Amino acid sequence: MTDRALSVVRPGALTTVQDQGRPGHAHLGVPRSGALDGPAAALANRLVGNRPEAAVLETTLNGCAVRPRSTVTVAVTGAPCQVSVDGRPAAWGAPVRVPAGALLTVGTAVAGLRSYVAVSGGIAVEPVLGSRSTDLLSGLGPTPLTVGAVLPLGTPNPLHTRVDTAPQPAPPAELALRVTLGPRDDWFTPEAVRAFTSRTFQVSSASNRIGLRTEGPALERRLKGELPSEGMVLGAVQVPPDGRPVVFLADHPTTGGYPVIGVVRETDLPAAAQAVPGTPVRFIEVRRR
Amino acid sequence: MRALPVGDAALLVEVSSGDEAQALHAELVRRRAEGSLSVREIVPAARTVLLDGLTDPARLAAELTASEVPPAPPRAREVVELPVRYDGPDLADVAALWGVSPEEVARIHAGTEFTVAFCGFAPGFGYLTGLPARYDVPRRATPRTAVPAGSVGLAGPYTGVYPRSSPGGWQLIGTTDAVLWDHARVPAALLSPGTRVRFVGAA
């Protein structure tokens, strides 16, 4: 093993390798996967001079700790948190030099849920179908980080320019998700459709990379039959028999048999990835573009 | 044919049967290959084809709804043969549902030519059609928490093979050693929509 690698000292609750995912294989049952907060992952890469498609680490709530075997530049974006190098505080949202053998600690999110850690050269695990992303639904890509795991790093590109700092949106206190209705809003009572776009839901603690689950009013169906399996898109709001809407995120199944009442605009999904359990959620109906 | 808008960049095209969905899927794949359709995902399912990553879904919707469902495409020449042992734990239950002996279930199943209608549930899991409607079976009332990889199961009008161990509610009639999914292989999936499949009984 070369010295361009990271050793995992503390994996945290759930830390995965993510890049831009593997779209284009849904017809084989392969989810798109990829960083849930794409803009934060892209910014982390820019801060260390990586290409946008480089793989980064995606943490969940309580960060992680890793030890690079060679000197690297890292940047932590997404959910704000304490960053330290060998115990000394370091900048969040800016390039940080980590000497060979030093311990990089990414702390618990003080707001939001998922932090992104880019390392110069990118995480260079073997790609699967063109992507290094961990897909938690179907098990493609590298397994989530474990203590002692060693992740290879790619070669930094010296020609890429770095940015020093960049503004980032604050994680949302309230999630306002713009939705277009359909394709199966006619499977619900008019009252249920009204409740969907006017009432306030809360982010459920059962949310994960597959879907943002909600608690709140149950949406009643008008048609009680079974919907034959049909293709699902990112951002689809599927309503299972319990009536609680689920917003499909990157690791969502490619087909499903529960009706989709509406679809969240893709540009609103990064904020959904940072919403902690209990965050109020409203679905704002918008016209199709 | 009905084209329902899905979000800002996708269309769900609804047809009236699984055969029509397969024919439409084949036609859309052909159009993408010849360059007249720009789309990121073409996802066939039971009675629909989803088109995702479109730049002008409204225009395509108008065009599709003004046209007829294309005729069934010429069948693929190649048939993928899956060796199977009819030794599944639900073989007797399926035999009872069909009103035949377990040996007869094996004979009927191995004597059928299947087509992959669509994939889903897991990478490489194909929903295979081909059995006459009288052989439809319900899912198990209680799904198993772990179905071994290679299990051959039935549910509704479909036959499927579990590419890896996972929970599942299909009625298991047999086992195959075929590797349905191997991401180090090209192509990774042994079965994809439109593939013809035959189960070959092994001793």
Task: Please give the torsion angle defined by the CA atoms of residues A130, A133, A138 and A139, in that order, rounded to the nearest 10 degrees.
Answer: 110
Chain A CA closest to residue B50: A231
Name which of A149, A145, A203 is nearest A175 in CA terms: A203
Beta strand A246-248 pairing with A236-238:
antiparallel
Q: Where are the alpha helices (DSSP H) in chain A?
A: 38-47, 190-198, 269-273
Predicted confidence at residue A169, as pLDDT, reads: 81
- Please write the tens of the pLDDT for every residue from A10-27: 999 999 999 999 999 999
pLDDT tens track of chain B, all 203 residues? 999 999 999 999 999 999 999 999 999 999 999 999 999 999 999 999 999 999 999 999 999 999 888 888 777 778 999 999 999 999 999 999 999 999 999 999 999 999 999 999 899 999 999 999 999 999 998 999 999 999 999 999 999 999 999 999 999 999 999 999 998 999 999 999 999 999 999 75
- Please write the tens of the pLDDT for every residue from A54-67: 999 999 999 999 99
A46 phi, psi to nearest 5 deg: -60, -40
Check CB contact under 8 Å for B118 and A27: yes
- Please write the tens of the pLDDT for every residue from A222-242: 998 889 999 999 999 999 999
Check CB contact under 8 Å for B44 and A27: yes
ipTM of this model? Answer: 0.93
Contacts of A273 (CB under 8 A, 6+ apart): A36, A37, A113, A114, A249
Q: How far is CA A288 from CA A183, B13, B49, in A?
A: 12, 17, 20
Q: Is A126 within 8 Å of A141 (Cβ atoms)?
A: no
pTM assigned to the model: 0.94
Mean pLDDT of the residues in chain A: 95
Q: Is A231 within 8 Å of A263 (Cβ atoms)?
A: no
Rounded to an integer, what distance in angstroms lies between the CA atom of residue B146 and that of residue B167?
A: 4
Within 10 angstroms of residue A168's Cβ, the number of other Cβ atoms is 18
Rounded to an integer, what distance in angstroms lies between the CA atom of residue A62 and that of residue B95?
A: 53
Rounded to an integer, what distance in angstroms lies between the CA atom of residue B9 and that of residue A265?
A: 10
Q: How far is CA A175 from CA A211, A239, B52, in A?
A: 15, 19, 25
Chain A CA closest to residue B124: A28
The nearest CA of chain B is from the CA of A209 a distance in Å of: 16
Chain A CA closest to residue B125: A29
Q: Is A119 within 8 Å of A74 (Cβ atoms)?
A: yes
Check CB contact under 8 Å for B52 and A26: yes
Chain B interface, Cβ < 8 Å to A: 4-10, 12, 40-50, 52-53, 118-125, 127, 164, 183, 188-189, 192-193
